[in-house]
Amino acid sequence: MQYNFREIESRWQRFWAENQTFRAEHPNEKPKFYALTMFPYPSGAGLHVGHPLGYIACDIYARYKRHQGFNVLQPMGYDSFGLPAEQYAIQTGQHPAITTRTNIARYREQLDQLGFSYDWSRQVRTSDPEYYHWTQWVFMQLFDSWYNRDSDKAEHLTTLISAFEAGGNTAVNAACDEDTPAFTAAEWQAMSEAEQQRILLKYRLTYLADTEVNWCPELGTVLANDEVVNGVSERGGYPVIRKKMTQWSMRITAYAQRLLDGLDTIDWPQPLKDAQTNWIGRSKGASVTFRSKPVKPGGERYDLEVFTTRPDTIYGVSFMTLAPEHDLVPELTTEAQREAVEAYVEASARRSERERMADVKSISGVFTGAYAEHPLTGEDIPIWIGDYVLAGYGTGAVMAVPCGDQRDYDFAKHFDLPIPNIFEGVSIEEEAYADKAGTVIANSDFINGMGYKEASNAVIEALEAKGLGKGTINYRLRDAVFSRQRYWGEPFPVYYDAEGLPHLIPEDCLPLELPEVEKYLPTETGEPPLGNATHWAWDAETLSVTANDRIDHKTVFPLELNTMPGWAGSSQYFNRYMDPDNSAALVGDQAIGYWQDVDLYIGGSEHATGHLLYSRFWQYFMYDRGWVPVEEYAKKLINQGMILGTSAVVYRKSGTNTYLSKGLIGDQQVEELRVDVNLINASDELDLEALRKWQPQYADAEFELEDGAYVVGREVEKMSKRWYNVVNPDQICEEYGADSLRLYEMFLGPLEQSKPWNTAGLSGVHNFLKKLWKLYHQGADRSFEVLDDKASAENMKTLHKTIKKVQDDIEGFSFNTTVSSLMICVNELTSQGCRQRDVLEPLAILLSPYAPHIAEELWKKLGHTDSIAFAAFPQFEEKYLVEQSKEYPISFNGKMRFTLELPLDLSREEIEAQVMADARTQKQLDGRTPKKVIVVPGKIVNIVG
């Protein structure tokens, strides 16, 4: 009987769906296991073979855990708010909800083909109002919370208000805006309602703030750094400037230390922890105040605050540098310098932050004309601006110590500023000296002769005495901007009163659903797309959304026009899966009491400082407020690597419509263009007829051929529709089956690494499944047959060797080597002629997490009526593997020359004697006496000499 994968796979997929085999129930007396893969954004292109890599790995682990007796929850859903659907809406006018629905249907069809053991009854979609109800709900709780640094957790705003009423804000130790004024209880009581609200906004965990953004006036929108190339928008090439905008922010900085400390408690990849650690960027140092001198007689003086990790080098300060965007730049600029400063500020507004960070070679800056007073020496310190200082970074100002910091050094050299040396016995002729450990301070008054630590403490003490500084811990982490000027995202449950202050709509009015709009573009006045809605006002009396023309700022108010960012919906989805239909809470106590947290989370490392940091922040917040039982939601995390595609390249002779075959280019000027890989045959030859039909630009093109064919170039790069190099899983399922695809994706290489895709290799794993099938069909006319007599010792050795390897490899997430060992197992059992149930039954279970359809089919043929999914994993028994002898590699000077079979119970001396007695040893030595013989019993013999 043939291995008919089409029939087998569709039969078992139907069986699983009809029997709800993978439905996870709670409570349950079994131990729980929650396996989660990052849910996809359902793009219009559908799944390509790169997507399922992590899903397959997660499914294998989930199925393995079921065999181990766990009650497994493995859900799937869609991160369905996002830019591509909106972009498509702008181009075609089709509502993003329709695009999204179509795409989700397509994804579901493709996912169903691959045999995942998902509990589909728990599916979530972030764009579903039933779901974003709870995203909005979390936002509301953040709005109504503040961070108490004394209790070190978030609390409801009522405790803050009581504290204000009792003793003003000086007694409160809270995370708040830097510009929060001090007030007493009496002053608080005397404030108007609006004034109080304005103060509270400085404490809320989500608040309004002016933030720098990449503004593209032409497109009327904010762009990601990614979308800005050389100061212009990637789309359209319009100018982009840095601009301040009032936006919602999340006070994630309140959690900086806890997010850092929490990393020690979770089993996540070290590089990912490194990324978060660096992102949070804790550094210890001092904040120091430099007072500016009046720019003109009788003018004002300003406090310039800087943060430094090297307070010990304060006597080496020879100038200050401010970010061009620094608030005080206009005030500190003298008339003589104004023109130059303004030109420089404008020029740097056109450079992206990334550009400014990456470019260390070109040094630029301008003197403001102003001076500050050195806090300890009282000397005049010139104030410069330079774009190597970033506005959003620390205070946007640095005290420049050219002898101790390379960027300051380069800046000083370039502008011929003094470089005082404050290090004992160190030359700074060539470069700055930044070695903290080797530092001995000189030319620095009372700290001469001290090391880094001692000097830093002494300086901090001196600054504190003068009231011009203090020891402090600084975090690089910035509060997270939470507004997007987009349509296709969660609306904020917020309206604005006559004073422009934000108010929440009542909790029981959630969800606040996205309004319909005519156009998905920003409005002509530059407002976000929701500004196009005619019904986007809040009636505070009827508690409902109403028409804009009813806005009177008394009972009807304008609603927020921004929407939430992509990461909002993914920050609590893992908890929602536990209880997706709960209409009273994000997650019910019983559900989260049982499921607790995610045991295994698989996803890409590109989410390290986005989703994976924000979701930890929300979870900490939820924990503080008592809604979830654990601080960290994912105990273990694995990053899956990227699948790379092999693109096909054609070469267009510059300025013509003539294409040169790869071998004919020589030194001619050509442009490289990507063409669809499906137009290429196995010999890298292009199907010209198909190409002409593929895109109009090729219809009349000329082609210069080699040996009658057009040969394309190949380029390995990220698999993406953009490069026309995607390989679709549907065709593969059709030709080889889902089990083959699953095995092959795992067989390609280590899960965490990126690796190129090559469909040709699929036949290898497909052949393996055919061989496996044959092993169970050795009866007359290849009919199914297993024998009930005892398997041979050899059979058992092969089986148990494989059990051990498969178990160790799954637990170590080494899925590629499991597939190899299953292949070796089948090869060995085939040549041994094994037909025994003792061996073939456990083998089916070993295979089942990887190739579940064929395993179910064989399980049924073996006489079982229930699903193999819950069969107990075979027990490894050491006794089958005990060896009597070892084939020792015999090396000479580290090079293996021959092997020698010796009993394992020989002593070191006996082994040496046997080896020396061997004729081949004497031949290798050729009469020489060995200097040394190294014997490692059970491993190796090495003869030196």
Nearest approach, Cβ of residue 651 and RNA (Å): 19
Nearest approach, Cβ of residue 398 and RNA (Å): 16
The single residue among 808, 900, 925, 930 that binds RNA, judged by CB under 7 A, is 808
Q: How many CB atoms lie within 10 A of CB 669?
A: 11
| Range list of β-strands (E), 421-555 | 469-475, 480-481, 494-496, 502-504, 537-539, 544-546
Nearest approach, Cβ of residue 484 and RNA (Å): 5
Burial 514-546, CB ≥16 within 10 A → b, else e: bbebeebbbbeeeebbbbbbeebbbbeeeeebb
Of 645, 640, 650, 648, residue with least CA distance to 726? 645
Contact yes or no for 570/603 (Cβ under 8 A): no
Looking at residues 176 to 205 of the shown chain, list those that interact with RNA (rule: CB under 7 A): none
Q: Which is nearer to RNA, 376 or 412 (CB)?
A: 412
Secondary structure of residue 561 in the 3-state scheme: coil
Looking at residues 209 to 248 of the shown chain, list those that interact with RNA (rule: CB under 7 A): 213-214, 222-227, 245, 247
Looking at residues 354 to 383 of the shown chain, list those that interact with RNA (rule: CB under 7 A): 354, 357-358, 360
564 in the Ramachandran plot: left (φ > 0), alpha (ψ -120 to 50) or beta?
beta
Query: How far, in Å, CA of 337 to CA of 798, rounded?
Result: 83
Looking at residues 243 to 262 of the shown chain, list those that interact with RNA (rule: CB under 7 A): 245, 247
Q: How many CB atoms lie within 10 A of CB 497?
A: 16
Report if residue 768 touches RNA, rule: CB under 7 A: yes
Query: How far, in Å, CA of 798 to CA of 823, rounded?
Result: 11
Nearest approach, Cβ of residue 641 and RNA (Å): 8
Query: How far, in Å, CA of 112 to CA of 738, rounded?
Result: 10
Q: Which is nearer to RNA, 94 or 817 (CB)?
A: 817
Q: Which is nearer to RNA, 928 or 932 (CB)?
A: 932
27 is written with which tokens?
A: 């409570």
Positive or negative, the Cα torsion across 578, 581, 587, 593? Answer: negative
Sheet containing 637-639: give its strands across: 71-73, 32-37, 600-603, 637-639
Looking at residues 877 to 916 of the shown chain, list those that interact with RNA (rule: CB under 7 A): 887, 889, 891, 893-899
Report if residue 483 touches RNA, rule: CB under 7 A: yes
The single residue among 11, 235, 258, 476 that binds RNA, judged by CB under 7 A, is 476
Burial 226-255, CB ≥16 within 10 A → b, else e: ebbeebbbeeeeeebebbeeebbbbbbbbb
The single residue among 220, 231, 281, 713 that binds RNA, judged by CB under 7 A, is 281
Report if residue 278 touches RNA, rule: CB under 7 A: yes
Instruction: Answer whether the bond into residue 297 is a cis peptide, omega within 30°.
Output: no
317 is written with which tokens?
A: 């300060």
Q: Which is nearer to RNA, 129 or 756 (CB)?
A: 756
Looking at residues 589 to 608 of the shown chain, list those that interact with RNA (rule: CB under 7 A): 604-608
Q: Is 284 annotated as a binding residue?
A: no
What's CA 715's distance to the chain center, in Å? 26
Q: Which is nearer to RNA, 223 or 551 (CB)?
A: 223
Residue in the block written with tokens 């503080």: 624
Looking at residues 747 to 766 of the shown chain, list those that interact with RNA (rule: CB under 7 A): 747-750, 752-756, 758, 760-761, 763-765
The single residue among 108, 478, 714, 864 that binds RNA, judged by CB under 7 A, is 478
Q: Which is nearer to RNA, 337 or 571 (CB)?
A: 571
Q: Which is nearer to RNA, 69 or 761 (CB)?
A: 761
Looking at residues 122 to 181 of the shown chain, list those that interact with RNA (rule: CB under 7 A): none
Nearest approach, Cβ of residue 286 and RNA (Å): 20
Q: Which is nearer to RNA, 682 or 780 (CB)?
A: 682
Nearest approach, Cβ of residue 161 and RNA (Å): 30
The single residue among 125, 484, 616, 652 that binds RNA, judged by CB under 7 A, is 484
- 190: buried, middle or exposed (CB in 10 Å: 19+, 13-18, 0-12)? exposed
Report if residue 814 touches RNA, rule: CB under 7 A: yes
Q: Which is nearer to RNA, 94 or 421 (CB)?
A: 94
Q: Which residues sit opposite 494 in a β-bridge?
A: 504
Q: Which stretch binds RNA (CB under 7 A): 327-335, 340-348, 376-384, 823-831?
A: 823-831
Query: How far, in Å, CA of 394 to CA of 373, rounded?
Result: 21
The single residue among 824, 862, 900, 916 that binds RNA, judged by CB under 7 A, is 824
Report if residue 791 touches RNA, rule: CB under 7 A: no
The single residue among 21, 45, 46, 83 that binds RNA, judged by CB under 7 A, is 83
Secondary structure of residue 159 in the 3-state scheme: helix
Looking at residues 690 to 719 of the shown chain, list those that interact with RNA (rule: CB under 7 A): 717-718
| Contacts with RNA, 33-52, as mask; x by CB under 7 A | -------xx-----------
Query: How far, in Å, CA of 442 to CA of 313, rounded?
Result: 10
| Contacts with RNA, 523-562, as mask; x by CB under 7 A | ----------------------------------------
Secondary structure of residue 860 in the 3-state scheme: helix
Nearest approach, Cβ of residue 474 and RNA (Å): 11
Annotated binding-site members for ATP: 721
